[in-house]
Structure 1
């Protein structure tokens, strides 16, 4: 049986190992056959006290698997192209406070990541209702009520995101052989 939060640690450990074995730069294959040389930058971990203070001050619930991520890395940048940079950032606790400060109208939701014009959102109301699938995605300029359920928790999303080398796998089902060439 897999323990909640253990996938996060194994996923980060494996990614860091791949990076270390390759001079902190790895080559990934992206969509449509593109190859990129990328790097990842992990922030120092958040302490248990910082996590608890965040929850108390913000009145938000952090899921256990996400807390495990924060204890390893209080935010990170993933798959930044070594020449062109990137747009994948999982926010630190301070960034979550700063970037979500104006979202009082949809209480209980907060952005935790920015990925190529999308935000990954935790709905803490779902957590308080003991729902396991609390992660959502929305366009960067969309409101929280427009967020779409991902039907997963943080660590499943994170694991799949790393496996897909930073690709927005949650949108793959939108593209079919009939519409791909018109939409892309």
Structure 2
């Protein structure tokens, strides 16, 4: 989705099989964390339980720690996806 023709980067939502493949690839995922998409130089979109109860969608850039993922706000997946489409594939969660 939203592939940048100049830079060749884009975003991909994973199928269930791809989610399980990525989950097995990193054997140290915290319990309940699942990668559901990737893009922007290998960064991962993650659904994970949030003990602060603010939401469950996180963005992890390459090299980020599981201890401090980038929280995407109090959004449900369908809201995130809608905003992502409106922003034409931009990282809208970094705008505020």
In our comparison, the structure showing a higher alpha carbon Rg is 1
How big is the shift at 1:170? 1.1
1:148 paired residue number:
70
Query: 1:90·1:113 contact (CA, 8 Å) conserved in 2?
Result: yes
CA distance in 1 between counterparts of 2:95 and 2:15 reads 27
Structure 2 gaps, min length 5: none
Q: Which residue of 2 aligns with 1:139?
A: 61
- For residue 9 of structure 2, what is the aligned residue in structure 1? 86
Structure with more helix by fraction: 1
Q: Would you say the 8 A contact 1:88–1:114 is kept in 2? A: yes
Encode CA deviations 1:59-118: one digit per residue, 9 max, x unaligned.
Answer: xxxxxxxxxxxxxxxxxxx11245764321111111111112124341111111112032
Query: Equivalents in 2 of 1:109, 1:88: separation in Å?
Result: 19
Contact 1:132 1:153 in 2 (8 A): no
CA spacing shift, 1:98–1:163, aligned 2, 3 Å: same
How many residues align structurally?
92
Query: What TM-score, normalized to structure 1?
Result: 0.44
Calculate the TM-score normalised by the size of structure 2. 0.77
TM-superposed CA distance for 1:166, in Å, is 0.3
Q: Over aligned residues, Cα RMSD in angstroms?
A: 2.3
Select which of 115, 121, 124 maps to 2:46: 121
1:22-67 deviations in whole A, cap 9, x for unaligned? xxxxxxxxxxxxxxxxxxxxxxxxxxxxxxxxxxxxxxxxxxxxxx
| Contact preservation (8 Å) 1:111, 1:121 | yes
State the SS of the aligned residue for 2:67. Answer: helix
| Structure 1 residue runs without a partner (length 5+) | 1-77, 174-184
